[in-house]
Amino acid sequence: MLLLETGQTEADNIIQLVCAANVVLEGFPVIKNPPTFGFELSDDEADREITFENLFRRDVLFQWFTYRHTLPVAVAIAAEAWRNKKLVYAIHKLAQSYETECVTPWSMHPRNGQVFEKHTDDFASHVGTSVAINLAYSSIEELDLGVKASGKIPRSIGEGTFVWNQKVLEPFKARLRNAGIDPERTIDWVTRGDQSEVKVYDMFNQLSEYSDGVEVRDRKVSLPDAINFSEFLRNKMTAHAFSSDTQRLGPYEVYNVQQVARFLILSKCNLWNTRTEGLRKRYN
């Protein structure tokens, strides 16, 4: 329970941010219909006593509460983000991406191999996949961690390649460092099953140490490359009129872009890989 001495709108914004932060933290919207606003406590002391006495006994009040073991860390994320509106929007956008379309993080464990069909002929699914990717990448942009290039200073050397122009890459790495994020980190880009992805996947040819090269073909991708490729998917396949390649996107592409955004948000909040016990030690 959060006791907030503030107005209704600000209290609701805090509650909504905590719930969105928990979705980002868990990487999956476990709670259906989380609370989106709080209730006002009476100024009358006797009325307040009645409310607290019946807080977990009356059905009406009980439904205002939710529990996840991750909530203390979600509160810490919300507290870290509260004074940075861009970070607040990034959290909400990524949470909405998860609400639109996602898969469970545990289903992506390499021991499970290919769990999901990679593509579908369902038109509505193509739209949902595209919206989820757009929102996830937009959350990266809110952090000012997208690639900054132009016609005069292109991001790549050579047309149709992912070979970095150092005039773009070095300032990009500097922005990551300024955000407290190590640009030398790598991301596992999940790739499963038959080779039916768009051809640019072939440019990432370093398999992760656990890949078998057949069913599990996950790549180890540098963080700048992972962000750049996420932007490629958004720019070329989801943000505008659909191309013939758009229907080749599916749950694995959604998961990958969401994971890149999730890593950046949690790292920006200095809460990547942090659990409740870690919080207790940090704040003590």
Q: Would you write out the chain's pLDDT as a tens digit for each of its 284 residues?
A: 788 888 999 999 999 999 999 999 999 998 887 878 888 888 899 988 888 887 767 666 676 777 889 999 999 999 999 999 999 999 999 999 999 999 999 999 999 999 999 989 999 999 999 999 999 999 999 999 999 998 899 888 877 667 899 999 999 999 999 999 999 999 999 999 988 888 777 778 889 999 998 999 999 999 999 999 999 999 888 999 998 888 889 999 999 999 999 999 999 999 999 888 888 888 88
Would residue 102 count as lying in a domain?
no
Question: 234 with 156, same domain?
Answer: yes
Q: Are strands 219-222 and 186-189 parallel, antiparallel or unpaired?
A: antiparallel
Would residue 43 count as lying in a domain?
yes
The pLDDT score that the predictor gives to residue 54 is 78
CA torsion 226-230-235-239 (nearest 10°) is -170
Would residue 2 count as lying in a domain?
no
Would residue 95 count as lying in a domain?
no
Please give the tally of structural domains in the chain: 2
Question: 174 with 228, same domain?
Answer: yes
List the one residue out of 136, 70, 90 whose CA is nearest residue 268. 90
Would residue 226 count as lying in a domain?
yes
| Residue 119 domain boundaries | 108-268
The pLDDT score that the predictor gives to residue 38 is 84
Question: 256 with 123, same domain?
Answer: yes
Question: 65 with 184, same domain?
Answer: no
**Burial zone of 175 (CB within 10 Å; 0-12 exposed, 13-18 middle, 19+ buried):** middle
Question: 114 with 240, same domain?
Answer: yes
Question: 37 with 164, same domain?
Answer: no
